[in-house]
């Protein structure tokens, strides 16, 4: 599991590490940081984001989750994944740990939604199937538990999950 080094700021401050306060040094730092990629081909900033996102899901910090979902995920998508896919499930597990099943399911929901949004010809049949099965996993995790699942998400994401599930179900039937 990746351990974040440095001071974590809230994601409302655009960056996930503290800076020096010197504009020239901070600009050089940002340029270098964008080039830094870990052994899995994941930019360090994205790995830090995923780790922090998983922590916020676990802490049930709904305002911060909302910000990470609505602001930072689209921003990182544009900056790093405009032409390629987000990291796969195994890569994300190597970043956040494999014991965080619910976060992995939620991450895959975002991943497959990007597959649907970015592919002009539509997703492959295997992507459609895997996406639909991920929704089944999510709903099973929530509905089949003997105890109430400890999960707090922003209303907009809950709506998007249901809306996307219905859309993908209709597409899958077509």
- Quickly list DSSP for 20-31: -S-HHHHHHHHH
Whether 122 shows a pLDDT value over 90: the answer reads: no
C-alpha to C-alpha distances, 141 to 60, 79, 105, 155, nearest whole angstrom: 17, 32, 9, 19
Q: Please state which of the ranges 24-28, 122-126, 155-159, 169-173 shows the lowest mean pLDDT.
A: 24-28
Tell whether 1 is covered by a domain.
no
Provide the domain count of the chain.
1
The per-residue pLDDT of the chain, averaged, comes to 83
Q: Residue 25: which domain range?
A: 11-173
CB 65 within 8 Å of CB 57? yes
Q: Is 95 a residue whose pLDDT tops 70?
A: yes
Asked, for residue 136, whether it belongs to a domain, the answer is yes
Q: How do residues 16-55 score in pLDDT, each as one tens digit?
A: 444 577 777 656 655 554 444 555 689 999 999 999 999 9
Give the pLDDT confidence score for residue 80 in this predicted structure: 95
Q: Does residue 28 fall inside a structural domain?
A: yes
**Per the domain annotation, does 3 fall within a domain?**
no
Answer with the residue of higher pLDDT: 135 or 1.
135
The answer to whether residue 152 sits within a structural domain is yes
Which residues, including other chains, have CB under 8 Å from residue 94's CB and lie 6 or more apart? 40
pLDDT value of position 168: 84
| Range 35-42 contact pairs with CB under 8 angstroms and sequence separation of 24 or more | 40/87, 40/91, 40/94, 40/95, 41/87, 41/91, 42/87, 42/91, 42/95
Instruction: Provide the 10 A C-beta neighbour count for residue 168.
Output: 19
pTM, two decimals, is 0.77
């Amino acid at each position: 599991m990746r351990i974040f080094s440095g001071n974590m700021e809230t994601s409302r401050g655009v960056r996930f590490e503290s800076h020096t306060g010197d504009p020239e040094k901070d600009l050089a730092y940002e340029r270098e940081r964008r080039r830094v990629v870990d052994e899995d081909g994941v930019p360090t900033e994205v790995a830090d984001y995923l780790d922090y996102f998983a922590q916020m899901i676990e802490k049930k910090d709904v305002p911060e989750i909302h910000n990470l979902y609505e602001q930072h995920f689209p921003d990182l998508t544009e900056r790093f994944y405009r032409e390629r896919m987000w990291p796969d499930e195994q890569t994300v597990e190597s970043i956040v740990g494999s014991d965080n099943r619910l976060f992995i399911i939620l991450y895959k929901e975002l991943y497959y939604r990007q597959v649907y949004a970015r592919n002009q010809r539509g997703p492959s049949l295997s992507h459609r199937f895997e996406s639909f099965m991920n929704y089944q996993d999510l709903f099973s995790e929530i509905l089949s538990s003997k105890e109430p699942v400890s999960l707090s998400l922003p209303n907009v994401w809950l709506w998007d999950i249901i809306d996307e599930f219905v859309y993908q179900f209709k597409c899958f039937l077509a």
